[in-house]
Amino acid sequence: MKAHDGMYIDGDWRPSAGSSTIDVVNPADEQVIAKVPAGTARDVDSAVAAARAAFPVWAATAPADRSARLTALRDALAARRDEIAETVTAELGAPIGFSRKVHADLPIAVAGSYAELAASYAFEEKVGNSTILHEPVGVVGAITPWNYPLHQIVAKVAPALAAGCTVVLKPAEDTPLVAQLFAEAVHETGLPAGVFNLVTGLGPVAGQALAEHDGVDLISFTGSTAVGRRIGAVAGGAVKRVALELGGKSANVILPGADLTRAVKAGVANVFANSGQTCSAWTRMLVDAARYDEAVELAQQAAAKYVPGDPGHAESRLGPVVSAKQRDRVRGYIERGTAEGARVVAGGPDAPGGRERGYWVRPTVFADVTPDMTIAQEEIFGPVITILKYEDEDDAVRIANGTVYGLAGAVWSEDEEEAVAFARRLDTGQVDINGGRFNPLAPFGGYKQSGVGRELGAHGLAEYLQTKSLQF
């Protein structure tokens, strides 16, 4: 894998202020495929200074011109689709088919959506005798995770640029190569120097320096609730804007009368996609008592089709998790579930056969799970499904809402009105009805400890704007 040995700051690649590097490891075989610089606080200072200097001109750029730049960015990313997919597969371990369809195509579509929104958004509006101006908030510090590395970059950088903000990006240290590809694509568009800047580095060093920097007006962070809580505290102390997209423990509620086979099959596919490393995954499957045993059997059968395989092979459906740390975390949760009395009906804590090298986890399904178990309360972030039993709809609502999270969820019913009525009772930011498709124009974000703010579409653009009113 080709990697830059510098940071992208002020329109050019420049050496890091420090000498340390980060190994980029292929999680399928533990081979080091590249090294990138481990950025320092001085690198962050340089990047923020460049973004501050570029902000006045970019903020004053006409929305149509910002739209044209974003269109060029979408086209530059589309031209690199195969390279993006291969890079994500190498550094994250996602199967190549999934990388093409999701890790490459989704962010390309999102970039295109913000090119259109930049041109059509109402940055001015009339209310009575007032003119309301929606102006860019300033310099954005974007800290992105490894699980959907390019999508999360685009979901922050594209709306920030559309709004007229300038950006300093600190990507996850596990997946920095696709971030460098993104910087190359930005450079190709001719975006003015300093409008976008990239600093690779470790979270506790470069990430913390960015979150605490006085020159940053808004921090947009996606990652764990624990880190998000610290970033929120820092931002609050500085009276700084913050957007947090954090954890989830989403419920997949199958109501009596729903197509059980379809709902279970879709639920298993949802959780096992990206090796379970999806914050919005429906990791808790809720089934009525009368059909519980049938659902468990269907889930067991569906899980058997997810055989861990070489991520580079087109037919592979399940790759490794991202790192040794993540593998050990997920296996630890599987062991905890068994210790607390849940029944393993597929998978388990051991390495898949023939996969001792690499960060592999067997796709696992738990039955006889009760709402108070650790595996039903905490985000595992791996290919692990818990199946819970409910007695009636009120009980299902209580279980579904009974965690600290509220990011996503699903409801299945033979009657759409019944499903919508149930969805209205859920404390969560998104609910898919009978397998509704992901919509990149709809707001994405959570209730409770799943975060603050929204990403994607017009709601995602609004996060990067502040409001001024002129009275006449």
Q: Which residues are catalytic?
A: 245, 279
Quickly tell me which residue has 């390309």 as its tokens.
Answer: 108
For residue 410, which of 436, 385, 432, 438 has the smallest C-alpha distance? 432
Residue type, 167: V
